[in-house]
Homo-oligomer: A and B are copies of this chain.
Amino acid sequence: MINRLLKEIQKKNAPIVVGLDPTMKFIPEHIKQKAFSVYGETLQGAGEAIWQFNKGIVDAVYELVPAVKPQIAMYEQFGIEGLIAYKKTIDYCKSKGLVVIGDIKRGDIGSTSTAYAIGHLGKVQIGSETYAPFDEDFATVNPYLGTDGVKPFIDVCREEKKGIFVLVKTSNPSSGEFQDRLIADADNRPLYEIVGRQVDEWGKDCMGENYSYVGAVVGATYPEMGKVLRSLMPKTLILVPGYGAQGGKGADLVHFFNEDGLGAIVNSSRGIIAAYQNDKYKDTYSPVNYADAARAAVIDMKEDLAAALGNN
């Protein structure tokens, strides 16, 4: 899957992942009203609205980008009905040829991480039958529990030819509170570097053609740290959140890429899926044309990245 993801990035000339993080306030009224008219203002109604909203976005952008990243929390907040919309979204994106990165940030003790890995990337055994419950292509993983919380994901990825992105340095303002602490027994280097080195280590036995299927998450909002981490993890694909709404700019992203022009995939969520609400697009696109606005935002993001990376 790592090879396929990289090929799709090259084919579409877009190191871009669209974050499918729908919230009620991003969904245009006409979609909500249609869903509520059938299911009422219920969890099921919300699930239907999310699914229809996502479908519109996916139809508008699938030819332009290699991957999508649904953030499971945005579905889980609507309980079972939200998770049904999450699963429908995964299946639909895959039917459109998109690589699906489940932003699940799971991580637990060994046997429990195995359960998460099976549920999201692998297959579960029931009697003599097996099923792939959520079946994302990649998942994000939280490393706080150490190797035995991450290894079960790697084992399932090896078997299923899938991949993970391990949180190394997250994009949020307080990510430094623990991640930036200087480690005394590692030449006073920050914790995120220790985690990054470990990601590189885990990835050594997990190589695709040029990159490993153990990737890393490093926020666009910390470009200098991205530069250091890029050099510490040369074979690691970096998933870069924080572009756009969170403040990261195209020019900040250069350091996340390798000299081969690859090595990073940049996520934008709100900036694309809610583009019709942004000043830049709202005069051109009405809420009814939210998907066209999303498409325009993807094209603009492609240009921004291409200009920054100098291959315009």
| Interfacial residues, chain A to chain B (CB-CB below 8 A) | 21, 23-24, 32, 36, 41-43, 45-46, 71, 73-74, 76-80, 82-84, 87, 105-110, 112-113, 115-116, 118-120, 124-129, 131, 133-134, 142-149, 167, 170-179, 181-186, 188, 191, 194-195, 198, 241, 246
Bound-state CA distance A172–B151 (Å) is: 13
Given B36, B110, B172, B181, which contacts A194 in the complex, CB threshold below 8 Å?
B181
Q: Using known A-B contacts A178-B191, A184-B184, determine if residue A116 contacts B173 with beta carbons closer than 8 Å.
A: no
Chain B residues with Cβ below 8 Å from A246 are: 109
Instruction: Determine the distance from Cα of A128 to Cα of B128 in the docked complex, in whole angstroms.
Output: 46
User: Do A131 and B79 touch (CB < 8 A)?
Assistant: yes
Total copies of the chain: 2
Q: When chains A and B are docked, how far (Å) is the Cα of A196 from the Cα of B271?
A: 36
The answer on a CB contact under 8 Å between A171 and B109 is yes
Does the CB pair A146–B179 fall under 8 Å?
yes
A191 to B184, CA, bound (A): 11
Interface centre among A36, A133, A144 (most CB of B within 10 A): A144
A147 touches B110 (CB 8 A): no
